[in-house]
């Protein structure tokens, strides 16, 4: 990841509006977003304390980080944040590089190790924890807070992530601080993308569409979702090779074939609907797009359903402009589905934010109660899904970039129902 992508000025404004003096970030993905560097293997335990990023509201105060001792040098080499405190993790390590040249370099390795440890200030009774010690991590964080005059500040932790047991320990370790929920501020920060994030999402969409086109161009009788999945992945691989970009670390696929949207047993027989909802992950950023196909001639029911979701998509898309509440998109799409004759149609959300995450869906959701206004450089996966047992699965989905004057789709494939095979 080439970040950090966190906008300090915007973060300061959002913190001021929420009455926060600083953000303290422990969720691994948001830590990477804020610092530009992964917190490393300890973060895989999904507990607070593997690493902390400290982002003061006052832009004059430098950001800081707490990270496992194994990762200190890597962090300093790759992040603009240079005020870093470490805590010990379970992995034993020692640097004897400077002792391997010159006088004494031929001493027993045990002596060199002891000298290196002593030079680093490691106490004789040092012992590593089984994984990592939250208390040690919090002690390091406490020192960073004190150095910035924030020991008694109102701190916004990412409470959407922090486990209940860890939150209790945080309150005990930072008794003077006022622990608040910083997740809403972080969500608003993540919602608006930096140019580097938009570039990754755009590339992911382009690779995914190449994979869709490759898979649908090779439909033959008797294929199932697994066959189409393999064709999609090969199409992505070839497009990445053609563009001379690194192969995505991951692709994902929700592919439905046949009249039952949820059955893996569907096959590409005449009249079978194919819904291909897929994504490519670029540096942790997942794209999300979907198109619909029919093997041979679509039935009247399939055509009618697709006409309705196309109309609903157009109605919702017309509301994608800066300043509009996200809920307006949901209202417009729902109203159009009802106008098309599907008065009972109800969908909890018509898409979601996308970005750096372990999942392709993140806040904000295009939902009825989403009163947050759209902002330029917001990227949303906007979709109109409809699943009809006996007819097939359908989902029309684009990645939409909100611009200063309206919106732009990152997708290029036609939105209509396409015949294949």
**What is the pLDDT at residue 2?**
63
8-92+128-190 falls under which CATH superfamily? Creatinase/prolidase N-terminal domain (3.40.350.10)
Helix (H) or strand (E) holding 103: none
Q: What is the mean pLDDT of residues 405-417?
A: 98
Q: Are strands 289-295 and 362-367 parallel, antiparallel or unpaired?
A: unpaired
71, pLDDT greater than 70: yes
20 beta partners: none
Q: What angle do CA 269, 271, 275 make, to 5 degrees?
A: 90
Residue intervals in the chain for CATH 3.90.230.10: 195-420
Phi-psi region of 283 (alpha: psi -120 to 50; beta: other; left: phi over 0): left
Find the helix or strand (DSSP H, E) in which 36 lies: none
Instruction: Give the H/E segment covering residue 77.
Output: helix 72-78
Neighbours of 398 (CB within 10 A): 26
Q: Spell out the residues 6+ positions from residue 166 whose beta carbon is closer than 8 angstroms to its own.
A: 47, 48, 49, 134
For position 1, what pLDDT does the model report?
A: 59
Given the structure tokens 């990445």, which residue do they identify? 240
Mean pLDDT over 131-138 rounds to 97
pTM, 2 dp: 0.93
Residue 290's nearest CA partner among 349, 178, 212 is 212
- Residues of the chain with pLDDT > 70, as a percent, come to 99
Helix axes 326-339, 300-317, angle to 10 degrees: 150
Look at residue 242 and tell me whether its pLDDT is greater than 80: yes
Instruction: Give the three-state DSSP class for 170.
Output: helix
Chain region(s) in the chain for CATH 3.40.350.10? 8-92+128-190
Q: pLDDT category, 104, cuts 50, 70, 90?
A: confident
Burial string for 129-152 (b: 16+ CB within 10 Å, else e) reads: eebbbbebbbebbbebbeebebbe
Dihedral over Cα of 193, 197, 200, 203: its sign = positive
| Cβ within 8 Å of residue 147, ≥6 positions away | none
Q: Which CATH number fits domain 195-420: 3.40.50.300, 3.90.45.10, 3.40.190.80, 3.90.230.10?
A: 3.90.230.10
| pLDDT level of residue 112 (50, 70, 90 thresholds) | very high
Paired tokens of 222: 């008797």
Pairing of strands 349-353, 362-367: antiparallel
Give the model confidence (pLDDT) of 202-240 as tens digits: 999 999 999 999 999 999 999 999 999 999 999 999 999
Cβ(85)–Cβ(78) below 8 Å: no
- Please state, in angstroms and rounded to a whole number, the distance separating the CA atoms of residues 64 and 53: 6
User: What pLDDT score was predicted for residue 324?
Assistant: 98
pLDDT per position as a tens digit, 20-70: 999 999 999 999 999 999 999 999 999 999 999 999 999 999 999 999 999
Distance between CA atoms of residues 415 and 109, nearest Å: 66
pLDDT of residue 59: 95
Look at 102-106, 253-257, 304-308 and tell me which has the smallest mean pLDDT.
Answer: 102-106
Q: Averaged over 288-298, what is the pLDDT? A: 98
Beta strand pairing status for 379-388 and 349-353? antiparallel
For residues 156 and 181, the answer to whether their CB atoms sit within 8 Å is yes
Tokens read off for 109:
């390795």
Beta strands 379-388 and 362-367 are: unpaired
Helix (H, G, I), strand (E, B) or coil at 117: helix
The predicted model gives 281-289 an average pLDDT of 95
**With contact defined as beta carbons under 8 Å apart, do 381 and 365 qualify?**
no
Element (H, E) at 298: none
User: What was the pLDDT predicted at 175?
Assistant: 97
Q: For all residues of the chain together, what is the average pLDDT?
A: 96
The residue ranking higher by pLDDT, 101 or 154, is 154
Higher pLDDT, 101 or 190: 190
Cα(94)–Cα(74) distance, integer angstroms: 15
Tell me if the bond preceding 52 is cis, omega within 30° of 0.
no
Q: How far apart are the first and last CA of the chain?
A: 40
Q: How far apart are CA 211 and CA 328, in angstroms?
A: 32
Instruction: Evaluate if residue 382 carries a pLDDT over 90.
Output: yes
Q: What is the pLDDT of residue 247?
A: 66
Q: Which residues pair with 367 in a beta bridge?
A: 349
């Amino acid at each position: 990841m080439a970040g950090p992508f966190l906008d300090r000025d915007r973060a300061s404004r959002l913190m001021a509006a929420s009455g926060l003096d600083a953000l303290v970030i422990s969720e691994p993905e948001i830590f990477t977003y804020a610092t530009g560097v992964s917190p490393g293997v300890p973060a895989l335990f999904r507990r607070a304390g593997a690493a902390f990023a400290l982002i003061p509201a006052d832009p004059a105060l430098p950001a800081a980080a707490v990270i496992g001792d194994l990762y200190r040098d890597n962090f300093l080499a790759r992040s603009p944040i240079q005020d870093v405190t470490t805590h010990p993790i379970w992995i034993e390590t020692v640097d004897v590089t400077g002792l391997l040249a010159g006088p004494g370099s031929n001493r027993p390795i045990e002596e060199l190790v002891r000298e290196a440890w002593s030079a680093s200030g490691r106490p004789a009774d040092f012992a590593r924890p089984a994984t990592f010690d939250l208390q040690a991590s919090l002690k390091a964080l406490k020192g960073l807070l004190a150095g910035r005059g924030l020991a008694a500040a109102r701190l916004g932790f990412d409470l959407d992530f922090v486990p209940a047991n860890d939150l209790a320990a945080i309150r005990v370790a930072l008794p003077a601080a006022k622990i608040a929920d910083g997740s809403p501020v972080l969500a608003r920060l993540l919602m608006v993308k930096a140019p580097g994030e938009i570039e990754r999402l755009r590339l992911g969409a382009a690779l995914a569409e190449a994979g869709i086109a490759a898979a649908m161009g090779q439909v033959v009788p008797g294929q199932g979702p697994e066959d189409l999945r393999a064709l999609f992945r090969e199409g992505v691989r070839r497009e990445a090779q053609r563009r001379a970009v690194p192969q995505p670390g991951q692709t994902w696929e929700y592919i439905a074939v046949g009249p039952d949207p949820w059955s893996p047993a569907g096959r590409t027989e005449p009249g079978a609907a194919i819904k291909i909802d897929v994504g490519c992950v670029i540096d942790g950023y997942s794209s999300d797009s979907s198109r619909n196909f029919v093997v041979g001639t679509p039935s009247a029911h399939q055509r009618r359903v697709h006409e309705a979701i196309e109309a609903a998509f157009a109605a919702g898309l017309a509301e994608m402009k800066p300043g509009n509440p996200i809920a307006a998109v949901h209202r417009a799409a729902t109203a159009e589905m009802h106008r098309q004759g599907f008065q009972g149609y109800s969908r909890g959300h018509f898409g979601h934010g996308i970005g750096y995450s372990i999942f392709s869906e993140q806040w904000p959701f295009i939902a009825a109660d989403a009163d947050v206004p759209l902002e330029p450089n917001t990227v949303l996966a906007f979709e109109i899904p409809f699943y009809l047992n006996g007819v097939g699965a359908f989902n029309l989905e684009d990645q939409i970039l909100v611009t200063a004057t309206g919106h732009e789709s990152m997708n290029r494939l036609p939105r209509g129902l396409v015949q294949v095979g």
